[in-house]
Amino acid sequence: MNILGINAYHPDASVALLRDGIPVWAAEEERFNRIKHISGFPEGALRRCLEDLGIGPGEIDVVAVSKNPRAHLWRKVLFVLRHRPDRSLVRDRLGAFRRSSSFSRDFTAALGVSPDSLRARFVNVEHHRAHIASSFFLSGFERAAFLSIDGMGDFSSAVWGRGEGNRLDIAGRVYFPHSAGFLYTAGTQFIGFMRFGDEYKVMGLAAYGEPVFLEEFRKMFILLPGGGFRLNLDYFTHHKGQAKVHWQGGAPEQDILFSELWSRVFGPPRKPGDELSDRDRNLAASLQAALEEILFHNLNCLHRATGEENLALAGGVAFNSLANGKITARTPFKNVYIQPAAGDSGTALGAAAYVHHCLEGKPRTFTMDHACLGPGFSEERIEEALRAAGLPFRKLEEEELFRRTAEAVSRGLVVGWFQGRMEYGPRALGNRSILADPRRKDMKDILNHRVKSREHFRPFAPAVLEEKAGEYFEMDCPSSAFMLKVFPVREEKRDLIPAITHRDGTARVQTVSKQSNPRYWSVINEFGRQTGVPVVLNTSFNENEPIVCTPEEAVNCYLKTRIDVLALGRCLVSKEPESS
């Protein structure tokens, strides 16, 4: 049975396909049209999915859409009557309803087929049910508490309860306009990071400040019995309609969430591009502390209600790796599972899983322990891309590839590492990665100067052999395969791997298993053999665009940046004359 999941008309549009309950393909639309966080209909990803799997539109049994605009209709009507929002907000909601109603038309148009040629039935899965299914059903837990928490989807911002087998029992919700995700986004914007998805910058900046404004932030929300919370809406604008601000200095207009009350409390917002002040750093630390108070309040109440030791977490807030690393210390939960596409792109996979397990009643047979579900490319395609670019290369046996790559990293060179199938989710986890030496204090500056051009306060992450992780990091679990938790670097190792040790002595850890990614494990293992340190610095293979998908995109990124060495499959390319 082929169940196609689609996240459409929502940021991070994506496609996933389950075959008899097993995920066989998943990717975000941004990797194909090269626009970060693209919404709309994911026609590029849809076409590529069917092409890669060699199936036609008529072979799809169910199309599961991770959106249900009919959900909670009476609450939406009540909200309009109570709050009298700006017409722009009402138009936006009506537009979402119209786009959803045209889904089947967009689907057939993207594939160039008539509706009569399809046997598939179309199913709408409410946004947070899709989030929950994407985590719990793929976690390997037979029973677990679950929480989905994000900005907003289908008029809810948080949903929690308990899962067992192929059942999801929802115990509570937080409805629009109350949202922990919107609180964090409002603070992110106030600190001057205005692009969609900039919240991760605040996590990096938080290590440079102190939570001196926490009491002020506590006035913005109320914690409720049972795990719920409410916002003090005086501090926000989203419930009134979209507000605009135009920063002086030529920056474009942006939709903002914070009200003028923030300026009365903290002073004027930072303008994008201005120097960061101590106030901004302290705001970041305070905002992070406020989010953690909301999250851990919910999780502690959830544990009291369920008594479960296992937790399945999903939603955009589940990307807050700082908070994730503290869950077992701040709550009674002992085991936490977060799948690699925990944000909105993961709802495509979750919608398909929800249909398979909840609606079809099928048992669970799969645990998601890797993210390599996107397109892969043959050695022939790789060689064609290199020849078309006029790049001389050496085609090596695997052991020689690992040896030479590890040697290049150990010499302080920057290596583009392109292998196998592309990762699903926002993290490069060893198939579309840039590798560097974590032992060099200057490597962070080298990467920013040569490739990434990132803010100085944003850390780079380590990838470590799974069996060696405990020697370098104070972890609460044996595996952290998806780079979604921050843990302390062991004090005696911090001077050994300074390039991945953040200001506060922590790192966002990825553990690498030989079973789940043997090539990536082998190159790290070889680096460890050569240097005594089984850890590499891993960052995404891109400059300021989405992570590379194809060999041609990898070659282009290599040519336009100062990456020193390119390992494309078994082909090795170097800008050093003697290695060419």
Mean pLDDT of 15-38: 97
Mean pLDDT of 564-571: 98
Mean pLDDT of 495-508: 97
Question: Can you give the pLDDT at residue 579?
Answer: 42
Average pLDDT taken over every residue of the chain: 93
Q: Is the pTM of this model over 0.85?
A: yes
Instruction: Tell me if 309 sits within 8 A of 334, measured CB to CB.
Output: yes
Question: Can you give the pLDDT at residue 85?
Answer: 67
Q: What is the domain class of 379-579 according to CATH? A: alpha beta
Residue 407 has pLDDT above 50, yes or no: yes
Give the Cα separation of 306 and 148 in Å (integer).
16
SS3 24: strand
Confidence of residue 70 (pLDDT cuts 50, 70, 90): confident
Give the Cα separation of 479 and 368 in Å (integer).
13
What is the crossing angle of helices 278-306 and 180-190, to 10°?
170
Distance, first Cα to last Cα, the chain: 49
CA nearest 296: which of 346, 350, 229? 229
248 vs 442: which has the higher pLDDT = 442
Q: Please give the helix or strand (H or E) that residue 381 lies within, else none.
A: helix 379-388
Structural fold of domain 2-126: Nucleotidyltransferase; domain 5 (3.30.420)
Give strand ranges (E) for 224-334: 229-231, 243-245, 254-256, 310-314
HEC string for 354-374: HHHHHHCCCCCCCCCCCCECC
Token pair 């009491």 is found at: 215
Confidence of residue 248 (pLDDT cuts 50, 70, 90): very low
pLDDT digits (tens, 9 = 90+) for 333-360: 999 999 999 999 999 999 999 999 999 9
Mean pLDDT of 133-139: 98
**Residue 304: how many CB atoms within 10 A of its CB?**
11
Cα–Cα distances (Å) from 499 to 236, 388, 435, in that order, read 38, 35, 12
Residue 169 has pLDDT above 80, yes or no: yes
Question: Token pair for residue 478?
Answer: 């044996």
CA nearest 163: which of 346, 358, 347? 358
Give strand ranges (E) for 361-483: 394-395, 415-418, 432-436, 461-465
pLDDT digits (tens, 9 = 90+) for 519-546: 999 999 999 999 999 999 999 999 989 9
User: What architecture does CATH give domain 139-338?
Assistant: 2-Layer Sandwich (3.30)
Confidence of residue 249 (pLDDT cuts 50, 70, 90): very low
Weakest-pLDDT range from 29-43, 59-73, 191-205, 548-562? 59-73
Are the folds of 2-126 and 139-338 the same? yes
Question: Can you give the pLDDT at residue 63?
Answer: 97
Confidence of residue 252 (pLDDT cuts 50, 70, 90): very low
Residue 26 has pLDDT above 60, yes or no: yes
| Cα angle value 247/153/297 (rounded, 5°) | 90
Q: What are the residue ranges spanned by the domains of the chain? A: 2-126, 139-338, 379-579
Cα–Cα distances (Å) from 211 to 196, 265, 453, 490, in that order, read 24, 15, 28, 24
Question: Can you give the pLDDT at residue 246?
Answer: 41
Residue 82 has pLDDT above 80, yes or no: no
Instruction: Tell me if 383 sits within 8 A of 392, measured CB to CB.
Output: no
Confidence of residue 91 (pLDDT cuts 50, 70, 90): low
Question: Can you give the pLDDT at residue 578?
Answer: 55
Mean pLDDT of 141-155: 96
Question: Token pair for residue 220?
Answer: 């913005």
pLDDT digits (tens, 9 = 90+) for 279-325: 999 999 999 999 999 999 999 999 999 999 999 999 999 999 999 99
Tell me the residue type at 126. E
Q: Give Cβ neighbours of residue 101 (< 8 Å, ≥ 6 apart).
A: none
Confidence of residue 76 (pLDDT cuts 50, 70, 90): low
Confidence of residue 253 (pLDDT cuts 50, 70, 90): very low
